[in-house]
Amino acid sequence: MSTGAPAAAPSTATSSISSRFNARNLLREPLLGPLVALVIAIVIFSSVSNSFLNPQNVSLILQQSVVVGILAVGQTLIILTSGIDLSIGAVAVFGTIVMAQSAGAGGPFLALGSTLLVCVVFGAVNGGLVTALRLPPFIVTLGTFTAIQAATRLLAGSETYRVEPGALTFLGTSFRIGSFSTTYGVVTMLLVYLVMWYALSQTAWGKHVYAVGGNPQASNLSGIKSQRVLFSVYLTTGVIAAIAAWAALGRIPNADPNAYQNANLESITAVVIGGTSLFGGRGGVGGTLVGTLIVGVLRNGLTQAGVDNLYQNIATGVLVIVAVAVDQFARRRSQ
């Protein structure tokens, strides 16, 4: 599709002006709001607690953000297509059980492979129902979430499964950069962000994801195979869920069917706080990374300040509603 270029035009002076840095563009930059919120949160918490900006604490915040942070990348993709995924957390938890059980039977690499396969199949089921049957993603993933959660308990039989240290816990291994200690899980999370940032902003596939989310009719008329793009997004999200499952076992080497109950909602929270529109077609993984960090900083900071967990949930909830309200306001103004 990308070969039909028109005749090359001679270089003009206008194009260099058009790509030049512009202060007004910076103010329109959608990352600005979330970044300011993150900086304010860090300033407040570091003035309340002296240990907040300690390397150990910063490292802890990053490690605590890994699983939700990775899931939020998949969630960003789905929300960009104006969908929503209520099942990605449950898929990852199912993945951890599959990984732990199959590791006992066939070793760690079979375990990683079968987890990847299972998660991609779940992605294909969601994507198939959304594209082939044209069902709303909210309903589809609500259904698969309920079914997968039950299947997880059937598979695990209300037990937890310990995994042996090795390939499956590799993402929990820590290493030092100077005095700063972090894990390969954090690196993996950042890599997932980097890869998806590239795919969304530098490839035709990325443009098509935005187009399908922003204006499906225009996408079809432009010759984009919208349903195929949509399906690929759900498949990719399956892969991301498998990576999150791996990272989860790195963090706690124990596959627990009742773990990460809030991860799905927290991934949506991170995406929305990061400025990706629930109406699709605008936002990106950069914002989601900031959103993930805001949630991580808020939880960690409030914990250090001695605020009860339930109050933290209230604070996160308020933040989500504010973020959606800002998005709604921005959309109305642009129309």
What is the Cα–Cα distance from 80 to 87, expressed in whole angstroms? 16
Asked if residues 327 and 274 have their Cβ atoms less than 8 Å apart, the reply is: no
Q: How far is the CB of 207 from another protein (least distance, A)?
A: 5
Token code pair at residue 268: 């949506």
Between 202 and 261, CB nearer to another protein: 202
Between 170 and 210, CB nearer to another protein: 210
Q: How far is the CB of 50 from another protein (least distance, A)?
A: 43
Between 139 and 204, CB nearer to another protein: 204
Between 214 and 253, CB nearer to another protein: 214
Token code pair at residue 49: 């607690």
316: which residues sit within 8 A by CB, 6+ positions away? 266, 269, 295, 298, 299
Q: How far is the CB of 196 from another protein (least distance, A)?
A: 13
Between 86 and 211, CB nearer to another protein: 211
Token code pair at residue 306: 């001695």
Question: DSSP H helical segments within 83-107, as ranges?
Answer: 88-106
Between 205 and 329, CB nearer to another protein: 205
* DSSP string for 2-71: TT-PPPPPPP-HHHHHHTS--HHHHHH-TTHHHHHHHHHHHHHHHHH-TTTTSHHHHHHHHHHHHHHHHH
Q: How far is the CB of 4 from another protein (least distance, A)?
A: 5
Here the contacts of 215-221 (C-beta below 8 Å, separation 24 or greater) are: 215/281
Q: How far is the CB of 82 from another protein (least distance, A)?
A: 11
Task: Count Cα atoms within 13 angstroms, Cβ side, for 321.
Answer: 5
Q: How far is the CB of 333 from another protein (least distance, A)?
A: 10
Between 178 and 223, CB nearer to another protein: 223
State the residues that interact with another protein by CB under 8 A.
1-2, 4-6, 8-12, 14-15, 17-19, 22, 25, 198, 202-205, 207-208, 210-211, 214-215, 217-224, 281-282, 334-335
Phi, psi (deg, nearest 5) at residue 3: -100, -15
Q: How far is the CB of 77 from another protein (least distance, A)?
A: 16
